[in-house]
Amino acid sequence: MSLNTKFLGKEFYKFNKIDSTQAEIWRRIEKNNISSGTIISADIQTNGIGTHGRIWHTDEENNIAFSFFIKTNCKVIELDGITIEVAETILEVLKKLYNIKLQIKQPNDIVYNNKKIGGILCQTKLNGELVKYIVIGIGLNTNKRYFSKDIESIASSIKKEFGININNDDVINEFCNLFEKKIIKRIGEK
């Protein structure tokens, strides 16, 4: 599956192991060393960031953990519902590529049979009333096999639920292809 975008994913950095893809984006922002559409991806995150200060477990290879950065100059209201739109895009990709249907548990979880398979973290930087940029992190248990005792009853993976192997690169590329069109409709081309 090829990447057909104008900016989203054109700069792509993959790490075997990193503390957090989200944290790496913020470090690059602080150094002014990042362009709009940059993706940071990792096989393993040692300190993955979830919502409400929780940890996102990315302790096995061959799952999806990535964050991306988009420069904006829009009003906060223009990004209303962005987390749900990201989740809907992920579901659209998985339906299109693998004919599987997952659900969204608002505001930011992707679930199947009441077990969490993925999560989304959206963060923004404001300048007065305007959003200067957004950083969106996506974690998706595509091929994860082992879950620690504290989460095994509430978390799962596509591999465990459907018995299929997911090509993570295809999922990320198709996500970028679809989501870029949606974000351009909201904020224009940046």
Tens digits of residue pLDDT in 119-172: 999 999 999 889 999 999 999 999 888 887 877 888 899 999 999 999 999 999
pLDDT at res. 126: 93
CB-CB neighbours of 61 under 10 Å: 13
Are residues 74 and 131 in contact, defined by beta-carbon separation less than 8 angstroms? yes
CA gap 190, 186 in Å, rounded: 11
Domain residue ranges of the chain, discontinuous segments joined by +: 12-187
pTM for the predicted model, two decimal places: 0.90
**Is the dihedral angle over the CA atoms 11, 43, 173, 36 positive or is it negative?**
negative
Instruction: Mention the CATH class of domain 12-187.
Output: alpha beta
